[in-house]
Structure 1
Amino acid sequence: MRRVVAQGTFDILHPGHVHYLQEAKSMGDRLHVIVARENNVTHKPDPVVPAAQRVEMVEALEPVDHARLGHPSDIFVPIEEIDPDVIVLGHDQHHDAEAIETQLAERGVDCAVRRASGRSADEDELLSTGQIIDRILATRT
Protein backbone atom coordinates (compact mmCIF):
# COMPACT_ATOMS: atom_id res chain seq x y z
CA MET A 1 0.00 0.00 0.00
CA ARG A 2 1.63 3.23 -1.19
CA ARG A 3 0.89 6.16 1.17
CA VAL A 4 0.90 9.73 -0.12
CA VAL A 5 0.85 12.94 1.92
CA ALA A 6 -0.39 16.30 0.69
CA GLN A 7 -0.55 19.36 2.89
CA GLY A 8 -1.79 22.91 2.83
CA THR A 9 -4.04 25.52 4.36
CA PHE A 10 -7.12 24.69 2.24
CA ASP A 11 -8.87 27.93 3.14
CA ILE A 12 -11.99 28.36 0.97
CA LEU A 13 -11.77 25.27 -1.23
CA HIS A 14 -11.52 25.82 -4.99
CA PRO A 15 -10.77 23.78 -8.15
CA GLY A 16 -7.01 24.29 -7.72
CA HIS A 17 -7.19 22.40 -4.41
CA VAL A 18 -9.16 19.58 -6.05
CA HIS A 19 -6.61 19.35 -8.89
CA TYR A 20 -3.74 19.15 -6.37
CA LEU A 21 -5.41 16.43 -4.32
CA GLN A 22 -6.43 14.39 -7.37
CA GLU A 23 -2.88 14.49 -8.67
CA ALA A 24 -1.48 13.58 -5.26
CA LYS A 25 -3.86 10.61 -5.00
CA SER A 26 -2.74 9.39 -8.44
CA MET A 27 0.75 8.87 -6.97
CA GLY A 28 -0.36 6.18 -4.53
CA ASP A 29 -3.12 4.13 -2.95
CA ARG A 30 -4.02 6.16 0.16
CA LEU A 31 -3.98 9.94 0.38
CA HIS A 32 -3.41 11.53 3.78
CA VAL A 33 -3.87 15.30 3.92
CA ILE A 34 -2.37 17.48 6.63
CA VAL A 35 -4.30 20.73 7.07
CA ALA A 36 -2.22 23.59 8.48
CA ARG A 37 -3.09 25.13 11.82
CA GLU A 38 -3.60 28.89 11.84
CA ASN A 39 -0.43 29.49 13.89
CA ASN A 40 1.65 27.62 11.28
CA VAL A 41 0.41 29.77 8.38
CA THR A 42 3.08 32.47 8.33
CA HIS A 43 3.53 33.15 4.61
CA LYS A 44 0.08 34.62 3.92
CA PRO A 45 -2.89 36.10 5.81
CA ASP A 46 -4.55 33.97 8.47
CA PRO A 47 -7.18 31.54 7.18
CA VAL A 48 -10.78 32.75 7.11
CA VAL A 49 -12.29 29.32 7.73
CA PRO A 50 -11.73 27.68 11.16
CA ALA A 51 -9.30 24.74 11.26
CA ALA A 52 -11.82 22.03 12.16
CA GLN A 53 -14.07 23.10 9.29
CA ARG A 54 -11.17 23.07 6.82
CA VAL A 55 -10.29 19.51 7.90
CA GLU A 56 -13.93 18.43 7.53
CA MET A 57 -14.20 19.93 4.05
CA VAL A 58 -10.93 18.39 2.83
CA GLU A 59 -11.87 14.96 4.21
CA ALA A 60 -15.16 15.12 2.28
CA LEU A 61 -13.32 15.33 -1.05
CA GLU A 62 -13.31 12.12 -3.09
CA PRO A 63 -9.52 11.66 -3.48
CA VAL A 64 -8.87 12.04 0.27
CA ASP A 65 -8.69 8.94 2.45
CA HIS A 66 -7.83 10.77 5.67
CA ALA A 67 -7.42 14.41 6.69
CA ARG A 68 -5.98 15.68 9.94
CA LEU A 69 -4.90 18.90 11.52
CA GLY A 70 -1.16 19.52 11.55
CA HIS A 71 0.97 19.50 14.68
CA PRO A 72 0.99 22.79 16.64
CA SER A 73 4.77 23.23 16.59
CA ASP A 74 6.50 20.54 14.50
CA ILE A 75 5.19 20.04 10.97
CA PHE A 76 7.10 16.76 10.63
CA VAL A 77 5.35 14.93 13.50
CA PRO A 78 2.30 13.86 11.43
CA ILE A 79 4.58 12.88 8.56
CA GLU A 80 6.55 10.61 10.89
CA GLU A 81 3.27 9.08 12.11
CA ILE A 82 1.95 8.47 8.57
CA ASP A 83 5.34 7.25 7.24
CA PRO A 84 4.51 8.10 3.61
CA ASP A 85 6.14 6.84 0.46
CA VAL A 86 5.60 10.20 -1.26
CA ILE A 87 5.00 13.78 -0.15
CA VAL A 88 3.38 15.89 -2.85
CA LEU A 89 3.83 19.65 -2.68
CA GLY A 90 1.40 21.99 -4.38
CA HIS A 91 2.70 23.67 -7.53
CA ASP A 92 2.77 27.11 -5.86
CA GLN A 93 3.60 26.17 -2.28
CA HIS A 94 6.56 28.03 -0.83
CA HIS A 95 8.28 24.90 0.50
CA ASP A 96 11.79 23.97 -0.62
CA ALA A 97 11.70 20.31 -1.70
CA GLU A 98 15.43 19.78 -1.06
CA ALA A 99 15.19 21.21 2.47
CA ILE A 100 12.24 18.92 3.19
CA GLU A 101 14.17 15.91 1.88
CA THR A 102 17.08 16.82 4.15
CA GLN A 103 14.81 17.14 7.21
CA LEU A 104 13.12 13.82 6.39
CA ALA A 105 16.49 12.04 6.05
CA GLU A 106 17.63 13.48 9.41
CA ARG A 107 14.45 12.06 11.00
CA GLY A 108 14.80 8.67 9.32
CA VAL A 109 11.77 9.10 7.04
CA ASP A 110 12.49 7.54 3.65
CA CYS A 111 10.13 9.03 1.09
CA ALA A 112 10.17 10.91 -2.19
CA VAL A 113 9.16 14.57 -2.45
CA ARG A 114 7.33 15.57 -5.62
CA ARG A 115 5.69 18.78 -6.81
CA ALA A 116 2.20 18.71 -8.34
CA SER A 117 1.42 20.48 -11.57
CA GLY A 118 -0.69 23.61 -11.68
CA ARG A 119 -4.13 23.83 -13.17
CA SER A 120 -4.77 26.39 -15.88
CA ALA A 121 -7.75 28.61 -15.11
CA ASP A 122 -10.65 28.77 -17.51
CA GLU A 123 -12.19 32.18 -18.14
CA ASP A 124 -13.66 33.57 -14.89
CA GLU A 125 -12.40 30.57 -12.89
CA LEU A 126 -10.85 31.45 -9.53
CA LEU A 127 -7.98 29.17 -8.52
CA SER A 128 -6.76 30.82 -5.34
CA THR A 129 -8.31 31.71 -2.03
CA GLY A 130 -6.94 35.23 -2.38
CA GLN A 131 -8.72 35.68 -5.71
CA ILE A 132 -11.99 34.46 -4.17
CA ILE A 133 -11.65 36.86 -1.24
CA ASP A 134 -10.83 39.75 -3.56
CA ARG A 135 -13.91 38.97 -5.68
CA ILE A 136 -16.12 38.82 -2.58
CA LEU A 137 -14.78 42.15 -1.32
CA ALA A 138 -15.24 43.78 -4.72
CA THR A 139 -18.83 42.62 -5.08
CA ARG A 140 -20.00 43.04 -1.48
CA THR A 141 -18.63 46.45 -0.55
Structure 2
Amino acid sequence: MRRVVAQGTFDLLHPGHLSYLQDARSRGDHLDVIVARSENVTHKPKPVVPDHQRREMVAALDPVDDARLGHTEDFFVPIREIDPDVIVLGHDQHHDEETLAGMLAERGIDCEIARATARDADPGAELLSTGRIIDRVCEHRC
Protein backbone atom coordinates (compact mmCIF):
# COMPACT_ATOMS: atom_id res chain seq x y z
CA MET A 1 0.00 0.00 0.00
CA ARG A 2 1.36 3.43 -0.97
CA ARG A 3 0.75 5.95 1.83
CA VAL A 4 0.50 9.63 0.99
CA VAL A 5 0.60 12.60 3.37
CA ALA A 6 -0.80 16.04 2.69
CA GLN A 7 -0.67 18.81 5.25
CA GLY A 8 -1.95 22.33 5.68
CA THR A 9 -4.06 24.74 7.65
CA PHE A 10 -7.32 24.13 5.78
CA ASP A 11 -9.05 27.19 7.18
CA LEU A 12 -12.38 27.91 5.47
CA LEU A 13 -12.35 25.00 3.04
CA HIS A 14 -12.53 25.94 -0.64
CA PRO A 15 -12.14 24.22 -4.04
CA GLY A 16 -8.36 24.76 -3.98
CA HIS A 17 -8.12 22.61 -0.85
CA LEU A 18 -10.23 19.89 -2.46
CA SER A 19 -8.11 19.97 -5.62
CA TYR A 20 -4.92 19.62 -3.55
CA LEU A 21 -6.29 16.64 -1.63
CA GLN A 22 -7.59 14.96 -4.81
CA ASP A 23 -4.16 15.39 -6.40
CA ALA A 24 -2.46 13.98 -3.30
CA ARG A 25 -4.84 11.01 -3.13
CA SER A 26 -4.20 10.19 -6.79
CA ARG A 27 -0.56 9.51 -5.91
CA GLY A 28 -1.24 6.55 -3.64
CA ASP A 29 -3.66 4.15 -1.99
CA HIS A 30 -4.18 5.86 1.36
CA LEU A 31 -4.24 9.60 2.13
CA ASP A 32 -3.38 10.87 5.59
CA VAL A 33 -3.86 14.59 6.17
CA ILE A 34 -2.13 16.54 8.91
CA VAL A 35 -4.06 19.67 9.87
CA ALA A 36 -1.86 22.37 11.36
CA ARG A 37 -2.69 23.51 14.87
CA SER A 38 -3.48 27.21 15.16
CA GLU A 39 -0.60 27.73 17.59
CA ASN A 40 1.86 26.43 14.98
CA VAL A 41 0.71 28.68 12.13
CA THR A 42 3.34 31.41 11.95
CA HIS A 43 3.71 32.14 8.22
CA LYS A 44 0.25 33.70 7.76
CA PRO A 45 -2.67 34.92 9.90
CA LYS A 46 -3.97 32.45 12.46
CA PRO A 47 -6.93 30.33 11.33
CA VAL A 48 -10.45 31.57 11.94
CA VAL A 49 -11.90 28.08 12.42
CA PRO A 50 -10.90 26.08 15.55
CA ASP A 51 -8.43 23.19 15.18
CA HIS A 52 -10.87 20.35 15.91
CA GLN A 53 -13.43 21.72 13.47
CA ARG A 54 -10.89 22.08 10.64
CA ARG A 55 -9.75 18.49 11.24
CA GLU A 56 -13.36 17.26 11.24
CA MET A 57 -14.15 19.01 7.95
CA VAL A 58 -11.02 17.68 6.23
CA ALA A 59 -11.75 14.14 7.50
CA ALA A 60 -15.20 14.30 5.88
CA LEU A 61 -13.81 14.89 2.37
CA ASP A 62 -13.93 11.92 -0.02
CA PRO A 63 -10.20 11.79 -0.91
CA VAL A 64 -9.17 11.66 2.77
CA ASP A 65 -8.70 8.34 4.54
CA ASP A 66 -7.48 9.78 7.84
CA ALA A 67 -7.05 13.30 9.23
CA ARG A 68 -5.26 14.29 12.40
CA LEU A 69 -4.02 17.44 14.06
CA GLY A 70 -0.33 18.16 13.88
CA HIS A 71 1.93 17.78 16.87
CA THR A 72 2.19 20.86 19.09
CA GLU A 73 5.99 20.88 19.19
CA ASP A 74 7.44 18.67 16.45
CA PHE A 75 6.17 18.67 12.87
CA PHE A 76 7.84 15.31 12.27
CA VAL A 77 6.04 13.28 14.99
CA PRO A 78 2.97 12.49 12.85
CA ILE A 79 5.19 11.93 9.80
CA ARG A 80 7.12 9.26 11.72
CA GLU A 81 3.86 7.70 12.95
CA ILE A 82 2.33 7.57 9.46
CA ASP A 83 5.57 6.49 7.72
CA PRO A 84 4.50 7.78 4.28
CA ASP A 85 5.87 6.84 0.91
CA VAL A 86 5.29 10.37 -0.36
CA ILE A 87 4.53 13.80 1.09
CA VAL A 88 2.58 15.98 -1.32
CA LEU A 89 2.93 19.71 -0.80
CA GLY A 90 0.31 22.16 -2.00
CA HIS A 91 1.21 24.01 -5.18
CA ASP A 92 1.60 27.28 -3.26
CA GLN A 93 2.75 26.07 0.16
CA HIS A 94 5.75 27.87 1.59
CA HIS A 95 7.82 24.70 2.14
CA ASP A 96 11.03 24.24 0.14
CA GLU A 97 11.34 20.67 -1.14
CA GLU A 98 15.14 20.46 -0.78
CA THR A 99 15.11 21.81 2.77
CA LEU A 100 12.30 19.45 3.74
CA ALA A 101 14.11 16.48 2.15
CA GLY A 102 17.21 17.29 4.19
CA MET A 103 15.22 17.56 7.41
CA LEU A 104 13.51 14.22 6.71
CA ALA A 105 16.86 12.55 5.97
CA GLU A 106 18.36 13.89 9.22
CA ARG A 107 15.52 12.15 11.06
CA GLY A 108 15.86 8.89 9.16
CA ILE A 109 12.54 9.34 7.35
CA ASP A 110 12.78 8.00 3.81
CA CYS A 111 9.99 9.27 1.55
CA GLU A 112 9.46 11.07 -1.71
CA ILE A 113 8.39 14.72 -1.81
CA ALA A 114 6.07 15.94 -4.56
CA ARG A 115 4.33 19.22 -5.31
CA ALA A 116 0.62 19.24 -6.23
CA THR A 117 -0.47 20.99 -9.37
CA ALA A 118 -2.52 24.17 -9.16
CA ARG A 119 -6.24 24.01 -9.82
CA ASP A 120 -6.97 25.22 -13.31
CA ALA A 121 -9.49 28.00 -12.75
CA ASP A 122 -10.52 31.45 -13.84
CA PRO A 123 -9.12 33.70 -11.07
CA GLY A 124 -12.23 35.89 -11.14
CA ALA A 125 -14.67 33.00 -11.04
CA GLU A 126 -13.46 31.04 -8.00
CA LEU A 127 -12.21 31.93 -4.55
CA LEU A 128 -9.21 29.63 -4.05
CA SER A 129 -7.71 31.34 -1.04
CA THR A 130 -8.91 31.64 2.53
CA GLY A 131 -7.60 35.22 2.60
CA ARG A 132 -9.63 36.09 -0.49
CA ILE A 133 -12.74 34.50 1.04
CA ILE A 134 -12.29 36.57 4.20
CA ASP A 135 -11.75 39.72 2.12
CA ARG A 136 -14.93 39.00 0.16
CA VAL A 137 -16.94 38.40 3.35
CA CYS A 138 -15.67 41.71 4.74
CA GLU A 139 -16.57 43.52 1.50
CA HIS A 140 -20.11 42.18 1.60
CA ARG A 141 -20.85 41.93 5.31
CA CYS A 142 -18.66 44.33 7.29
**TM interval, short-chain normalised:** over 0.9
1:54-102 Cα distance to aligned partner (Å, 9 max, x none): 0000000000000000000110110000000000000000001111111
- Please tell me the residue identity of whatever aligns with 1:126: L
How far does residue 120 in structure 1 lie from its aligned partner after superposition? 2.6
Aligned to 1:124: 125
Aligned to 2:60: 60
- Please tell me the residue identity of whatever aligns with 1:30: H
Aligned to 2:31: 31
Query: What is the percentage of aligned positions where both structures have the same residue?
Result: 70
How far does residue 124 in structure 1 lie from its aligned partner after superposition? 2.3
1:2-59 Cα distance to aligned partner (Å, 9 max, x none): 0000000000000000000000000000000000001111010000000000000000
Aligned to 1:50: 50
Distance 1:109 1:65 in 2: 21
Distance 2:74 2:118 in 1: 27
Aligned to 1:89: 89
- Please tell me the residue identity of whatever aligns with 2:60: A
Distance 1:108 1:3 in 2: 17
Aligned residue-pair number: 141
Aligned to 1:105: 105
How far does residue 128 in structure 1 lie from its aligned partner after superposition? 0.5
- Please tell me the residue identity of whatever aligns with 1:125: E
Distance 1:98 1:20 in 2: 20
How far does residue 121 in structure 1 lie from its aligned partner after superposition? 2.5
How far does residue 108 in structure 1 lie from its aligned partner after superposition? 1.0
TM-score of the superposition, structure 1-length normalised?
A: 0.98
Gaps in structure 2 of 5+ consecutive residues: none
Aligned-residue RMSD, C-alpha: 0.7
- Please tell me the residue identity of whatever aligns with 1:77: V
TM-score of the superposition, structure 2-length normalised?
A: 0.97
Deviates more, 1:118-127 or 1:48-57: 118-127
